[in-house]
Amino acid sequence: MQSRFYGGRVNSFEAVFGNSPEVVARAPGRVNLLGEHTDYNGGYVLPIAIEQQTSISMNHSNSEQYALYSETLDDIVYFTLGKSPTEHFATYVYGCLMEARAVGVKVPVLDIYIQSDVPMGAGLSSSAALEVAALRVLRALTGFPLDDVRIAQLAQRAEMQYAGVRCGIMDQMAASLAGTRKALLLDTLTLERRLVPLPPASAVLVLDSGVARTLAGSGYNQRRAECEEAARRLGVSTLRDIQEVSLADALPESLGRRVRHIVSENARVLRAAECNNAEEFGMLMNASHASLRDDYEASVPQLDQLVTLLQTHPDVYGARLTGAGFGGACVALCKPESLQQISEAVLQDYSSMGLKGRVLVPPHWVNRTATVGAGLAS
Ligand code: GLA
């Protein structure tokens, strides 16, 4: 059951629930630097946390129903465990409560308040930030021992079982274990990981293409099914086991291209994690975009245009779509002193093509650049 809260937007737990929260926890969004669509193939990824975070506050409730309020959506949703709410944002939290209960957490009836500045639907993992924050706050409230990897695993299960996306584990591992200063090199098969510094004299810029995407509605699940089919035909349990690109030649054309992307993308991640050189890292990002566009067919024309504008700017080392694709954001590795100038120039050119982009990361420039250029969304 859902009811819009009352008239104006409220902005505190106290205003919605009439008392103070017992516990609060946060988790960040992430931007993936390299390694796209490799995580559900047992491959390698290289995400980094962004500054924007989701914060969840909770309190025990005397009611029979859970109450879940989203400040961003100004919506309150009521539900009981065992009957999933229909509101999309609520299914992530509901899924986390159900998964926590399944591993033995005694989940009391709760009042829950969500606050977030992670951009939604842009490929920066607002859903993983929500899930990990929900599980962290539940851990704090109940004292149930869940380590950070376990939290990521439960969060992934929640997303798969309750939000209908057969995602890999990258986003939840990034939200649970990554920091904003170093990238997280993760082997998604073994969950071995280490932190990797950005190359010297480089910084990350993320621009939104303005093209909305939804994971469940996009080709995401279809790509995953294609990879599983290719692995089956090649006689391996995941495409991570394929190192020789030429093996793809034995497959029907489109399946072969999917395999080529996964094999080449894994190699790019491993190379980037070693190179410690911004020019080389940038070239690997450019190659990743070409592979996502041509072999994986996960791009859209607007993303290609924005990526080309970034790639041709003299102070950009490399750029690519980031996240699932089919819309959403682009990530670029840039000269740190030029971030603002790059974003202004690129978004002006994007705007002159009749397209509307905006800065997502670094977040403090969202406002600074919002007035520059007709094409910038506020
Ligand atoms: C989404 C999924 C991730 C990953 C990326 C593509 O973000 O949630 O698991 O598959 O797409 O790399």
Looking at residues 314-323, what average pLDDT do you find?
98
Within this chain, do residues 112 and 68 fall inside the same structural domain, yes or no?
yes
What sign results for the dihedral spanned by CA atoms 219, 225, 228, 233?
negative
Within this chain, do residues 170 and 254 fall inside the same structural domain, yes or no?
no
CA angle, corner 197, sides to 193 and 203, nearest 5?
Answer: 130
Q: pLDDT band at residue 6, thresholds of 50, 70 and 90?
A: very low
Q: Is 37 in the pocket of ligand 1 (CB under 6 A)?
A: yes
Q: At 140, phi and psi to the nearest 5?
A: -65, -40
Q: Which atom of ligand 1 is nearest to the CA of 220?
A: 11
* Mean pLDDT (the chain, rounded): 92
Q: Is 163 in the pocket of ligand 1 (CB under 6 A)?
A: no
- Calpha distance 41→238 (Å, rounded): 5
The SS3 call for residue 96 is: helix
Within this chain, do residues 41 and 141 fall inside the same structural domain, yes or no?
yes
Top-confidence residue, 214 or 293: 293
Catalytic residues: 171
- Calpha distance 148→176 (Å, rounded): 6
Residue 237 placed within a domain: yes
Q: pLDDT band at residue 373, thresholds of 50, 70 and 90?
A: very low
**Structure pTM?**
0.93
Q: Give the pLDDT score at 364.
A: 77
Contact 48, 178 (CB under 8 A): yes
Within this chain, do residues 177 and 218 fall inside the same structural domain, yes or no?
no
Q: Is 324 in the pocket of ligand 1 (CB under 6 A)?
A: yes
End of a domain among 197, 220, 247? Answer: 197
Within this chain, do residues 149 and 217 fall inside the same structural domain, yes or no?
no
End of a domain among 171, 197, 223? Answer: 197
Within this chain, do residues 272 and 306 fall inside the same structural domain, yes or no?
yes
Q: pLDDT band at residue 363, thresholds of 50, 70 and 90?
A: confident
Distance 278 CA to ligand 1 centre (A): 24
Within this chain, do residues 284 and 316 fall inside the same structural domain, yes or no?
yes
Within this chain, do residues 261 and 187 fall inside the same structural domain, yes or no?
no
Residue with CA nearest ligand 1 atom 2: 167
For a mutational test of ligand 1's pocket, the pick from 39, 191, 296, 303, i.e. the residue with the most ligand atoms closer than 8 A to its C-beta, is 39
Domain that holds residue 56: 13-197
Q: Is 167 in the pocket of ligand 1 (CB under 6 A)?
A: yes
The answer to which of 55-64, 287-296, 356-365 has the lowest mean pLDDT is: 356-365
For the chain, the domain total comes to 2
Within this chain, do residues 65 and 214 fall inside the same structural domain, yes or no?
no
Task: Tell me the one-letter amino acid at 232.
Answer: R
pLDDT digits (tens, 9 = 90+) for 327-350: 999 999 999 999 999 999 999 999
CATH number at residue 167: 3.30.230.10
Residue 37 placed within a domain: yes
Within this chain, do residues 27 and 92 fall inside the same structural domain, yes or no?
yes
Residue 372 placed within a domain: no
The answer to which of 142-151, 181-190, 279-288, 359-368 has the lowest mean pLDDT is: 359-368
CA angle, corner 238, sides to 236 and 243, nearest 5?
Answer: 75
pLDDT digits (tens, 9 = 90+) for 140-186: 999 999 999 999 999 999 999 998 888 999 999 999 999 999 999 99
Residue 367 placed within a domain: no
Residue 291 placed within a domain: yes
End of a domain among 197, 223, 253? Answer: 197
